[in-house]
Amino acid sequence: MSDGLSEKQRDILRFLEQFIAEHDYPPSIRDIQQGCSISSTSVVDYNLKRLEEKGLIRRDREVSRAIELLNRQGERRRRTVQVPLLGPIAAGIPIPTHPDSVAPLDIIELTEEQVRGKANLFALRVQGTSMIDALINDGDIVILEPRQTADPGEVVAAWIVDRGETTLKKYYPEGRKVRLQPMNSTMGPIMEDASNVQVQGRLVATIRSF
């Protein structure tokens, strides 16, 4: 094989993946020995050293089960980040200023790659089809970053004060008015006084099941 790994080393990697997926903690050297039918713990240790040299795993000395799988670039694999699902959007629920202060309805898991260092993200479940042209359908989940302001054309969750309602729309400030534009060719824009519209967050990602 072209990856420079022996059959045994690839077998150990496979076992590591599988064991961790199953138990959520790494195997001991004896677990690996038995799982891969290896004659001696020395052989496991020997091959783990080779895998570490090749940048495929990371180990801590004299610590039990201290084996971490690395990705193909020799970097730590990303874990998931938990984002609270706060409620439906386009319903009469204001988004709290401090998302941590309310009990979320559910927890959405994203990879760090998707989050890219953004903090305090929160999730909402979309109601209605006003964003269908953006492939955001009824029941989909949108991930938002808390923001009090937005640039023209950004997709925001906006709190319409006198309606007591949060809605997901494209944001266009126009003088003293704000135009909230649906992304659905069958729907017209909502025009509101700027003082009646509070931007709550900016769209960062969507999760869909097409």
Residues with a catalytic annotation lie at 130, 169
Q: How far is the CB of 110 from a copy of itself (least distance, A)?
A: 7
Q: How far is the CB of 112 from a copy of itself (least distance, A)?
A: 8
Q: How far is the CB of 94 from a copy of itself (least distance, A)?
A: 22
Tokens of 157: 């969750």
**Is 25 a binder of a copy of itself (CB under 8 A)?**
yes
**Chain residues in the site for DNA (CB under 7 A):** 6, 8, 28-31, 38-47, 50, 59, 61-66
Which stretch, 34-42, 67-75, 91-99, 172-180, contacts a copy of itself (CB under 8 A)? 67-75
Q: Locate the DSSP E strands across 54-121.
A: 57-59, 67-69, 80-89, 106-111
| Cα torsion angle, 49, 54, 57, 63, sign | positive
Whether 70 and 89 have beta carbons less than 8 Å apart is answered as no
Out of 16, 48, 56, 67, which residue is the one contacting a copy of itself (CB under 8 A)? Answer: 67
What phi, psi does 49 have (nearest 5°)?
-60, -40
**Residue 21 binding partner per list a copy of itself, DNA, none, with a CB distance cut-off of 5 to 8 Å that depends on partner kind:** a copy of itself
Q: Locate the DSSP E strands across 31-78.
A: 57-59, 67-69
